[in-house]
Structures are given as structure tokens and as C-alpha cells.
Amino acid sequence: MSVPRFWRRIHSLYRLEGTRCAKCEILYFPERNRCIKCNSNELQPFFYSGYGKIISYTWVYTPPKGFNSSIPYCLAIIELDEGPRLTSQVVAVNQDEVSIDMLVEFAFRKISSEGKEGVITYGFKFRPKGYPNHKKK
């Protein structure tokens, strides 16, 4: 993500922001401009609680180029408490700790840094629900 685009999106990166259709109330993540259910373009910002559970997961041993996380890392499909599903890395877990239905919470984290200028790309990750902020793993 470019730096200007990052700053335009910073509010949605600090919180898990999607949209909600004003007509049929369906929720979207990520945000959409038009409802795919009723075709309305009256979509309003919606902030998710940031809580959800793991529906499915895998361990990635071969990350994309420039991806600096330690290997392997956990990549999961997460169902938010409000319903929508998304794919996210789950941090602060060992392989024997992750399970289906495990409760997780949104965590704003650095994703990667690029090139010698060190442009840092931010994005969201999830961690076990109630995981203390100060604890490092």
C-alpha cells in the first residue's frame, strides 16, 4: 500500500471498519459502495467489535516476498461476532494452541516494511481474545 493511500485509510486500519446497508442492514467487510443483496448505494460506515472466532486455519511456511514475519505463521478464516468472515494472520500463538472456534480479537499490527527506505505497510492481524498487550512471544 502506498503512503498516501495508507494515510487516507488510517481510520479504518486502527479500527475494523466496514459498511452496513441502510436499506437491508447487511454488513460488509471490507467496505463496499453498493449492496450486493439489494443494490442500494446507501452504505454507511460500520465499526466492528473486533471479536470473532476461527473457522479454519493453516500454517504458512512459504511467505510472500518481503514478508518478514517469523515462519511458520498462522493464517485463519475468522468469523466476526457480527457475521462477516475475513482472512487474517493470527499472532501470538503456537501451533498446538490454535483450534477451530478459538476466540480471537483484532490487533493493529505492522505487516511488513519495504525496501531500504523502510516504508512500513500496516494492516490488521488477530490474536487470542484477552491476550495481554505487553506480552511478547
List residues near Zn ion by CB under 5 A.
21, 23-24, 35, 37-38, 40
Cβ proximity to Zn ion, 21 vs 93, nearer residue: 21
* Three cell numbers written together for 20: 452496513
Report the DSSP pairing between strands 43-47 and 17-21.
antiparallel
Q: How many helices (H) and strands (E) does the chain have?
A: 2, 8
Q: How far apart are CA 33 and CA 8, in angstroms?
A: 16
The least CB distance from residue 51 to Zn ion, in Å, is 24
The least CB distance from residue 39 to Zn ion, in Å, is 7
Cβ proximity to Zn ion, 3 vs 38, nearer residue: 38
* Three cell numbers written together for 61: 511456511
Cβ proximity to Zn ion, 13 vs 26, nearer residue: 26
